[in-house]
Amino acid sequence: MTKGGRDRRSHRHPEYRSAPRRPLVLLANDLDKPSNAGGILRTAEAFMVERVLFDRPEPETAGAMGAEHWQPVAWAVDPIAVLAHYKSRGYLAVGLEQCGSALPIQDFSFPERVILVVGSEMFGVSDGVLELMDALVYIPQAGLVKSLNVATAAGIAMYEYARQRWLTGFIQPARHLAPTCASVRVVREDS
């Protein structure tokens, strides 16, 4: 829905809206930049994530490129209640956090049902939420900067889940390929 209460795209792509989504839920804990929320929504939509949950009120979702119209999302949720709800439904709570007990993400075997938790860029996942995690993973990095942008890190984690659970053998539908290929072609007049 748009802030005005009416989704101007609700009539479009009914078959896409009813397509099954993957049992990956992403909980963004204490995210403070709208561009990060937009980036997370855009990536979640690309990987058919079941739902994205934010514990902050809805900001302007800069960078979402319209994904907020297709990706199921909820704002201003209680993270503790959300975790209890999904864990009671058999979802494993996995925190993306740099700490001594975390596993490198490529060494972690994602189960089918996951609630993935990402935190703020400055402070990570909050202590109260971190205590409820069933597992912790981190993204190994070789550079001097010790962390990634949260939307980038969430995107890598969503990709790793998809790679392990369903992406092998996936053939991208032509509807995604044709417009992009045509739009990047540049014809030089001097050739």
Q: At what angle do helices 150-162 and 34-46 cross, to 10 degrees?
A: 10
* pLDDT, tens only, 26-51: 999 998 887 888 889 889 988 989 99
> Does 12 or 93 have the greater pLDDT score?
93
CA distance 3 to 5: 5
CATH architecture, domain defined by 14-184: 3-Layer(aba) Sandwich (3.40)
* Helix or strand holding residue 92 (H, E): strand 92-96
pLDDT at 15: 63
DSSP category for residue 138:
E
CA distance 49 to 46: 8
Tell me the average pLDDT of the chain. Answer: 82
- How many whole angstroms separate alpha carbon 150 and alpha carbon 153? 5
Q: How far apart are CA 95 and CA 131, in angstroms?
A: 10
Name the pLDDT band for 2 (thresholds 50, 70, 90). Answer: very low
Question: Could you give the CA distance from residue 160 to residue 4 in angstroms, rounded to a whole number?
Answer: 36
pLDDT band at 64 (very low <50, low <70, confident <90, very high): low
| C-alpha–C-alpha distance, residues 43 and 61, integer Å | 13
Looking at residue 5, its pLDDT comes to 44
pLDDT in tens, 85-119: 999 999 999 999 988 899 999 999 999 999 999 99
Residues 135, 103 contacting (CB under 8 angstroms): yes
Choose among 94, 101, 90, 106: nearest CA to 156.
106
**Residue range 127-151, pLDDT digits in tens:** 999 999 999 999 999 988 888 899 9
Q: The whole model's pTM is what?
A: 0.80
Whole-angstrom distance, CA of residue 27 vs CA of residue 170: 26
